[in-house]
Amino acid sequence: MTELPFVPRERLLKHQQYFQHVHRHTYLKGRFDKITSVAIPLALAGSCLALIGRGVYNMSNGIGKQA
């Protein structure tokens, strides 16, 4: 007995042709890859820079010191 495939062969061939002929970087070829490879790291870097800037401001002005 043969097992049925998860995806029909025509759909698989269509996806293979798409991914083989797209002229972008490999990690940006999928639908949501721009979100996971670009947007999330940029958001993390931006929040880190904001928190570092806030800490430098607080230290230079003596705000939030323990008694």
Distance CA 58, CA 16 (A): 54
15 Cα distance to chain centroid = 21
Element (H, E) at 42: helix 40-61
Tokens 């639908």 locate to 31
Contacts of 5 (CB under 8 A, 6+ apart): 12
% of the chain surpassing 90 pLDDT = 37
Record the pTM. Answer: 0.55
31 versus 20: which is more confidently predicted?
Answer: 20
Confidence of residue 29 (pLDDT cuts 50, 70, 90): low
Q: Examine the pLDDT at 37 and tell me if it is beyond 90.
A: no
Identify the pLDDT of residue 21: 81
